[in-house]
Amino acid sequence: MSRLSYSELFRLALPIILANAAVPLLGLIDTAVIGQTGSAADLGAIALAALIFSFVYWGFGFLRMGTTGFVAQALGAKDKQELHALLFRTLLLGLSIGVALILLQIPIEQTATYLLKASNDVNARVRDYFYIRIWGAPATLMTFALLGILIGMGWTQQLLWVQLLLNGLNLILNVIFVVGMDLGVAGIALGTVLAEWVAWLFALWLVIQKMEISHPQQRLWQLRQRIFDRIRLVALFRVNSDIMIRTLALITGFAWFAKQGAQFGDHTLAANHILLQFVSLSAFFLDGYANVAEMLVGKAYGQRNQKQFELAIQRSSILAAATACCLALLIFLFGNHFIPWLTKDPVVQQVASEHVFLAALYIACSFAAFQLDGIFIGVTYSQAMRNSTLVALACLIGLGTWWIIPYGNTGLWSAFIVYVVVRAVVLGFYYPRIWSRLLTGTH
């Protein structure tokens, strides 16, 4: 890694960027197919049901993030036994959570439909979708763990293959079940569930082959004591619980931002939604570089190699900063030309154009939080990530409530920018402790 070039970093990040961009396609495919064959109630049901699963699954994103750091460190330490144990340990955790979601499906559905407050017609279709799609929960959560392993090992091209299979098969099955068999919303859910299980089997096969595990069941039995080692399980749950709190705080921050924007009226709500699409687009790129930082930093941390550790941080961060600045400049200069592609409403266009520079500024400032998240995931220092997001959320709500009164939507966006900056600042406060952990070999 001492000769790691920027082109090599980009080669590692590109499959992740493409895979990240492929994720929203799953919902887009569902919407497009049902939109051509179903009613407005069908479309509304797909939108709300997808929101339910996005919220639930995003909350368990620690299965991907936490796994990456532990795998990268074990790779750096050349601990093959622990790599294999991590595979089984995280798969069992994902399976357990997935089964729990299935067992709790009735209260989850009832709570979600109560909170969403849609019409009876839409709610009936949401239930049709939900009670089929929920059976894909174990596959999805175990796939999260496998994706974490692929990133931690640096097998980013295989990660892209998994996402392409998931989306491609989902498209084919949706056409068969909805267009060909006229199953409607239930067909969408069935196609997605089948695609999720096939994608999990494919990802599992890839990881087993790449890890050269010839007899998985026998290997599982051999490693049973290490898999259920109390110290390692406690470390895994500690990191995962911190990341879960951090993720819920992130969701709360974006939800609060959207809710406050809605108070300014439908036009402002729509304009903010459009600008957030630019932010989401930039996140595909910045998250890719953060994932590269996770794997390289984690590997160097496992090796206890200070030089490699510093090089991985420096080069991945420079590339991420350059990319963020280019994206921000692109949105600042040409955002007003992109906005009409996303809405024909002249009032929405005007509001979005007035605030596009703030979206560009957010993108320029956000790379530091992404990179530091990646670095802290790589060293599994999850407590700092949790604390930084909670402090940032408090600043967002406090400053946003204060600035909205005199400055309106501009004040809201300004608080949103402070939100992402504070996340980086607080992580920066913890950053020196990473070096002490590296030098002392503590976790």
Domain locations in the chain? Answer: 6-228, 242-440
Distances (CA, A) of 332 to 21, 89, 217, 354: 22, 46, 55, 11
Q: How far apart are CA 63 and CA 66, in angstroms?
A: 6
* Cα–Cα distance, 212 to 204 (Å, whole number): 12
Other Cβ atoms less than 10 A from the Cβ of 187: the count is: 26
Q: Write the CA distances from 395 to 165, 412, 418, integer angstroms.
A: 41, 12, 8
Tokens coding 388:
């930084």
- Cα 409 from Cα 348, distance rounded (Å): 13
- The pair of structure tokens assigned to 295 is 């794997």
pLDDT in tens, the chain (443 residues): 456 788 888 888 889 888 877 766 666 566 667 666 656 667 667 767 777 887 788 888 888 888 999 999 999 999 999 999 999 999 999 999 999 999 999 998 888 877 766 677 777 888 888 899 999 999 999 999 999 999 999 998 999 999 999 988 988 998 899 888 878 888 888 999 999 999 999 999 999 999 988 888 888 888 888 888 889 889 888 998 999 999 889 988 888 887 888 788 878 877 887 888 788 888 888 999 999 999 999 999 988 888 889 999 999 999 999 999 999 999 999 988 888 887 777 888 898 899 999 999 999 999 999 999 999 999 989 999 999 999 999 999 999 999 999 999 999 999 999 999 999 999 999 999 888 777 665 55
- Would you give the DSSP letter of residue 135? G
pTM score, two decimals? 0.86
Contact 196, 143 (CB under 8 A): yes
Which CA distances in Å does 9 have to 1, 22, 72, 178, 305? 10, 20, 16, 42, 19
Q: How many CA atoms lie within 13 A of 369 on its CB side?
A: 24
Give the tokens for residue 325.
Answer: 């600045």
How long, in residues, is the chain?
443
| Residue type present at position 72 | A
